[in-house]
Structure 1
Amino acid sequence: MNPVQEELSARERGILEAVIDNFITTARPVGSRTLSRSGGLGLSPASIRNTMSDLEEKGYLYQPFQSAGRVPTDKAYRLHVDAVTAQRRSAPRSAVQTLERIKEDLAVEKVLQRAAEALSVITSELGFGIEPLVDEGLLEGVELIRLSSERIMLVLTIGRGVVKTIFVELDRRFDNSRLDKLASRLRERLTGLTLSEIRHTARNRLKDVVEDERDPLNIFIQSADTLFDLKESNRELVFGETSKLATQPEFNDQGNLRSLISLTDRKLHLLEVMKKRANKEGLSISIGGENELSDLANFTLVTDTYRMGKMSGIIGVIGPTRMSYRRVISVVEYTSRLLSDMLDK
């Protein structure tokens, strides 16, 4: 939940926005003389300094060390972001041209990977993508592949190109012709259904085509609840390149670098955080202390959802709280619309 913001005067808002814009550009604490020289405010250094002191008392600015200028707080960035999201936005032309190239791929995993990589390049943050939660996606294809005498791989194609593999242990050996027949019966009875529907109705849909108690179809009837239950942890999470992000001054602090490495290594933690966003359509932005994970205390997450039939996935970026929010938000929103146009067919 976002903190309640008190009303600021026009002068306070103007100076706060000037501090934020300057700090985003330079990554250096901002002083009153710097703002006065930059023009646009029409105020003396003393007037600006007094207003900056008021903003510090209200929790919008802080002084990282004595005699330094001021730096925006999470509270200041929240005010800034709320103002940005209230305005109409369009992605820069150069970003659009880069993102349009992801249309060259059709498989969901490849499209997401290319989108995440493009976001990393365009924003200089860490782009990432999460494939849709497939529970409400329609089953389009079923294949069975023998791995050993008593082990097969069930390959499910869900929606437009999401492929999931499940390993199934058999209690006896079956020849290839019987496996082919089994796959054919599964396709005949289950394609066109959601995984949720399959879990709840598999027994009734399959029981009349079981030949005998030794029929391998019994395994799918008895284990439908688990075989067709693809958990959140099974979702694919892909990251773009970290090279541009790592050059930002925030990563001179080894703690921030360790937090980022920890986050990319522990994908399940990020998937857990993203679960709530998957259920909420549209743009979502969490800044610094608003994030649930301690590893994200100095970072901002900007995400948007994309549609693929009844399913939705997530695309977004992770970066230091000092980021060009106008640019990042517009690019993430455009990417989400582009993915939906490609995949929601």
Structure 2
Amino acid sequence: MAVQRHSTRSKRRDSLSRRERHVLEAVVRTYVDTAEPAGSRTLARRFDFGVSPATIRNTMADLEEDGYLTHPHTSAGRVPTDLAYRFFVDRVVRPESLARSEKIRIEREILSGDGTLERILRNATRALGLLVNELGVGSVPQLDRARLEKIDLISVSSQKVLMVVTIKSGMVRTVYVDLPGEAPPDVLESIERILNERLGGLSFTEIRRSFGARLRDAVEDPAARDVLNIFIESSEDFFGAGTPGPEQVVLGQTSAIVGQPEFSTNERLRELIALTEQKDLLAKVLGTRAVRGGPCVTIGSEHGPELSGFTLVTSGYRFGSLRGILGVIGPTRMPYEKVIAIVDYTSSLVTSMLEP
């Protein structure tokens, strides 16, 4: 499994000595396991370096000077910086192989429910969060490559219609349409037939580009023309792929992640709560994620300020010709091997479940 690398590079990173690499890895693993700053004596006990605690301490001082480690004012131990985690992910991490019991648990969590895309994504983000004690996150596929299967117009009231758009992959999109006046059933049937005849099989991009040209001369009856004009004027809303919106973001439960030590203070807890309420921000971030080529990991300061204290691990899934994102958000102190493996397996499982 290939983990996508971030493009940022450090002058110092490639010049770490073997001992520095080993000490840095030991600090990261110790801090991930304990959530406590790592001291030289602790590292000497846990890892077989073959050198004295004093030598380890000097190596840690060099790593701190180069920006890989820092230490809280209240502790003599060191903690990894974002740069250390980036080095760890790029140079050390080898994603774990999941146990059969873990795979079965993921499958059981995702398979519960009615099997719709929305339910599968909700189950998947919930399962991701519970399995790794982070916040599961996902996005509904973007529709730029979606191809129209059919359109159904269902009268809801005298001046309101429910338009049901079925995509060839099986995904369904519904939109309520307000009409300029009462539309008889035969008018709606005529417009439904015309929409399907002239738009069926086209991609959403093709529909947006040519909607008006394909339909302006489609009817002669004034009442039908007035109704059809509503669809022409709103075609961008009906068939827009656009940038991801808040409604396209699916979040798992926050109950698992709030138990992390990082959120024991009110300030960090408020940051987490604020993040879950900014679905527009999350939609924008997820919209920039790679959906091909394996898991993608971004860490702390590699994000904008709103996500600077978090790591985001994602992987793409497919729904026919459409693609979406699944992953987790958590503190930068994260068991990266386990998280990457679970995110990658879950996204692959979701893809297989969505296959026709």
TM-score by length of 2: 0.89
Kindly indicate whether residue 348 of structure 2 is the aligned counterpart of residue 342 of structure 1. Answer: no
Contact 2:291 2:317 in 1 (8 A): no
Report the residue type matching 2:267 in the other structure.
G
In structure 2, what residue type is equivalent to 1:300?
A: T
Distance across 2 between alignment mates of 1:290 and 1:220: 42
* Distance of 1:15 and 1:234 partners within structure 2: 42
2:3 corresponds to which residue? none
Out of 170, 189, 192, the position equivalent to 1:180 is 189
- Distance in structure 1 (CA, Å) of the matches to 2:27 and 2:63: 11
Identity of aligned residues (%): 45
Summarize the Cα distance change of 1:71–1:88 in structure 2 as closer, same or farther, 3 Å threshold.
closer
Structure 2 match to 1:254: 266
Paired position in structure 2 for 1:239: 251
In 2: Cα distance, 1:150 partner to 1:18 partner = 67
Compared with structure 1, are the counterparts of its residues 208 and 281 closer, same or farther at alpha carbon in structure 2 (3 Å cutoff)?
farther
CA spacing shift, 1:224–1:38, aligned 2, 3 Å: closer
Give, in angstroms, the shift of residue 72 of structure 1: 0.6
Give the 3-state SS of the residue equivalent to 1:277 in structure 2: coil
Report what 1:198 is aligned to.
207
The one-letter code matched in structure 1 to 2:48 is G
Structure 1 residue 290: Cα displacement: 0.7
Given the alignment, which residue of 100, 103, 124 partners 2:107? Answer: 100
Counterpart Cα distance in 1 of 2:140 and 2:75 = 48
User: 1:198, 1:228 within 8 Å by CA — same for their partners in 2?
Assistant: yes
Match of 2:90 in 1: 82
Q: Where does structure 1 lack aligned partners over 5 or more consecutive residues?
A: none
Structure-2 change in CA distance of 1:13 and 1:141 (3 Å): same
Q: Which residue of 2 aligns with 1:286?
A: 298
Which of 118, 128, 132 in structure 1 is aligned with 2:137?
128
What residue in structure 2 maps to residue 71 of structure 1?
A: 79
Structure 1 stretch displaced more, 253-262 or 121-130: 253-262
Give, as a single letter, the amino acid of the residue that structure 1 aligns with 2:116: A
* Count of aligned pairs between the two proteins: 343
Aligned pair in 2 of structure 1 residues 71, 330: CA closer, same or farther (>3 Å)?
Answer: same
8 Å Cα contact 2:39/2:76 also seen in 1 = yes
Which residue number in structure 2 is paired with residue 10 of structure 1?
Answer: 18
**TM-fit CA distance, 1:227:** 3.2
Q: In structure 2, do the counterparts of structure 1 residues 10 and 278 end up closer, same or farther at CA, with 3 Å as the change threshold? A: closer
Q: What amino acid does structure 2 have at the position aligned with 1:240?
A: G
Query: In the TM superposition, what is the alpha-carbon distance from 1:221 to its structure 2 partner?
Result: 3.5
Distance 1:285 1:123 in 2: 15
> Please, which of 288, 298, 305 is the counterpart of residue 276 of structure 1?
288
1:226 deviates by 4.0
Question: Comparing 144-153 with 257-266, which one deviates more in the overlay?
Answer: 144-153
Per-residue CA deviations over 1:154-211 (Å, capped at 9, x if unaligned) read 2212243433222322222112343233223323332322111112233344355414
Q: Which moved more, 1:129-138 or 1:316-325?
A: 129-138
Q: Give the RMSD, CA atoms, in angstroms.
A: 2.1
Shift of 1:235: 4.9
Matched residue, 1:38: 46
Per-residue Cα deviation, 1:241-285 (whole angstroms, up to 9, x for no partner): 111111111011222211111111110011112221156654221
Cα distance between partner residues in 2 of 1:278 and 1:32: 39
| Aligned mates of 1:238, 1:307 — CA distance in 2 | 16
Contact 2:147–2:203 (CA under 8 A) maintained in structure 1: yes
1:99/1:141 Cα in 2 relative to 1: closer, same or farther (>3 Å)?
farther
For 1:114-153, what aligned pairs fall within 5 Å after superposition? 114-153=123-162
Q: 1:99 & 1:80 partners in 2: Cα distance?
A: 27
Structure 1 counterpart of 2:132, one-letter code? T
**1:113 paired residue number:** 122
Is the alpha carbon distance of 1:212 and 1:181 closer, same or farther for their aligned partners in structure 2, counting shifts above 3 Å?
Answer: closer
Tell me if the contact between 1:116 and 1:128 (Cα under 8 Å) persists in the aligned partners: yes
Q: Could you state the TM-score of these two structures normalised by the residue count of structure 1? A: 0.92
Q: State yes or no: 1:312 paired with 2:320.
A: no
Question: How far, CA to CA, are the matches of 2:75 and 2:249 in structure 1?
Answer: 44
Change (3 A) 1:71 1:113: same
Aligned to 2:4: none
Q: Which moved more, 1:124-133 or 1:90-99?
A: 90-99
**Does the 8 Å contact 2:183/2:223 carry over to 1?**
no
Which of residues 164, 168, 183 in structure 1 aligns to 2:177?
168
Letter paired with 1:321: T
- Of stretches 5-14 and 35-44 in structure 1, the one that deviates more from structure 2 is 35-44
- What's the CA shift for 1:230? 4.2
Q: Which amino acid is 2:277 matched to?
A: D
SS of the aligned residue for 1:332 comes to helix
User: Hey, what's the Cα distance between the residues in 2 that align with 1:90 and 1:145?
Assistant: 49
Worse-matched range after superposition: 187-196 or 40-49: 187-196
Q: How far apart are 1:234 and its partner, in Å?
A: 6.3
The partner residue of 1:29 within 11, 28, 37 is 37
- Cα separation, 1, equivalents of 2:212 and 2:37: 66
